[in-house]
């Protein structure tokens, strides 16, 4: 395991004081790889917080070029990068914050051809894709490969998050055994809503890697930011789940 340099010890000084984290936890972050898919309103902020916290390697999967309508929430995309690849914009912004960060940019969304390989390269997956097809693929590969997956999602002023640990918890297909029929690709969103749930996703990933705290396993945290009602719902494995069931 690579040790912290003097520069890193200085950079992370304030978070090294977090009980149960310390130098050992920080070294685990440095030596870890997290897959973030995609880097939209949610994934951008997940990646930014993980870069700030000192995760060593980020795999960023996101297709397409920056569009004007990305800029209300996709905080790694900037006006001067309109029309150019999103992953390049994300990489540039993350490197400004943390030049030590190793980034594996994949200008593709998660699909049947890349899911197994990209999940295989990661220690933890943070799932922030806008389509259930992509989420189900990451869930399937995470369960197959025994990798923890933090699933974060939002809609309008609502948001939710759960942490899936294969063998211990319900998986995404336990929660949603059938293709959801009412979900539409375009959803109402403020960046502050996607960014809020993104920060929770980032701290779940940090906890899993460093090894402190209690993850959101078998619990779905839901937030209604219109009313600021927050609750944690007990969820359970589904008998006969086609992904994680025996």
Binding site for another protein (CB under 8 A): 38, 40-43, 128-132, 135, 152-156, 158, 160, 175-183, 187, 189, 194, 220, 222, 224, 226-227, 231-236, 238
What is the size of the binding site for Zn ion (CB under 5 A)?
6
HSE-CB at 219 with a 13 A cutoff on CA atoms is: 11
Q: Which does 216 bind (CB under 5 to 8 A by kind): Zn ion, another protein, none?
A: none
The answer to the question of residue 244 lying near Zn ion (CB under 5 A) is yes
Q: Between 19 and 240, name the residue whose CB sits nearer to Zn ion.
A: 240
Question: Between the CA of residue 198 and those of 10, 22, 126, 195, 210, what are the distances in Å?
Answer: 26, 23, 9, 5, 18
b/e sequence 143-172, b meaning 16+ C-beta within 10 Å? beeebbbbbbbbeebebbbbbbbbeebbbb
- Whether the Cβ atoms of residue 65 and residue 85 lie closer than 8 Å to each other: yes
Q: Which does 244 bind (CB under 5 to 8 A by kind): Zn ion, another protein, none?
A: Zn ion
Site track 156-175 with Zn ion (rule: CB under 5 A), x = hit: ---------------x-xx-
160: tokens are 């939710």
- Whether the Cβ atoms of residue 46 and residue 52 lie closer than 8 Å to each other: no
Element (H, E) at 222: strand 219-224
Helix (H, G, I), strand (E, B) or coil at 43: helix
Q: Which does 171 bind (CB under 5 to 8 A by kind): Zn ion, another protein, none?
A: Zn ion
Q: Which does 246 bind (CB under 5 to 8 A by kind): another protein, Zn ion, none?
A: none
HSE-CB at 79 with a 13 A cutoff on CA atoms is: 1
The answer to the question of residue 221 lying near Zn ion (CB under 5 A) is no
The alpha carbon of 215 is separated from its chain's Cα centroid by a whole number of angstroms, namely 14
Q: Between 46 and 143, name the residue whose CB sits nearer to Zn ion.
A: 143
Q: Which does 56 bind (CB under 5 to 8 A by kind): another protein, Zn ion, none?
A: none
83: tokens are 């029309």
Q: How far is the CB of 133 from Zn ion (least distance, A)?
A: 17
Q: Which does 241 bind (CB under 5 to 8 A by kind): another protein, Zn ion, none?
A: Zn ion
Q: How far is the CB of 164 from Zn ion (least distance, A)?
A: 9
Q: How far is the CB of 178 from another protein (least distance, A)?
A: 5
Catalog residues that contact Zn ion under the rule CB under 5 A.
171, 173-174, 241, 243-244
């Amino acid at each position: 395991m690579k040790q912290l340099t003097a520069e890193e010890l200085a950079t992370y000084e304030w978070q090294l004081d977090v009980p149960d984290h310390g130098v050992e936890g920080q070294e685990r972050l440095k030596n870890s790889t997290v897959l973030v898919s995609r880097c939209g309103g949610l994934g951008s902020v997940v990646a930014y917080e993980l870069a700030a916290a000192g995760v060593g390697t980020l795999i960023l999967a996101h297709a397409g070029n920056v569009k004007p309508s990305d800029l209300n929430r996709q905080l790694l995309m900037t006006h001067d990068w309109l029309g150019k690849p999103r992953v390049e914009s994300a990489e540039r912004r993350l490197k400004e914050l943390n030049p030590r960060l190793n980034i594996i940019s994949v200008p593709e969304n998660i699909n049947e051809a890349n899911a197994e390989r990209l999940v295989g390269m990661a220690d933890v997956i943070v799932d922030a894709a806008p389509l259930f097809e992509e989420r189900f693929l990451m869930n399937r590969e995470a369960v197959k490969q025994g990798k923890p997956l933090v699933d974060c999602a939002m809609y309008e002023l609502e948001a939710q998050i759960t942490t899936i640990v294969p063998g211990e918890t319900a998986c995404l297909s336990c929660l949603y055994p059938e293709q959801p029929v009412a979900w539409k690709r375009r959803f109402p969103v403020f960046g502050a809503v996607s960014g809020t749930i993104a920060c929770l996703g980032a701290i779940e990933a940090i906890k899993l890697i460093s090894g402190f705290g209690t993850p959101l396993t078998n619990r779905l945290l839901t937030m209604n930011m219109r009313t600021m009602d927050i609750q944690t719902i007990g969820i359970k494995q589904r008998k006969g789940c086609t992904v994680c069931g025996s």
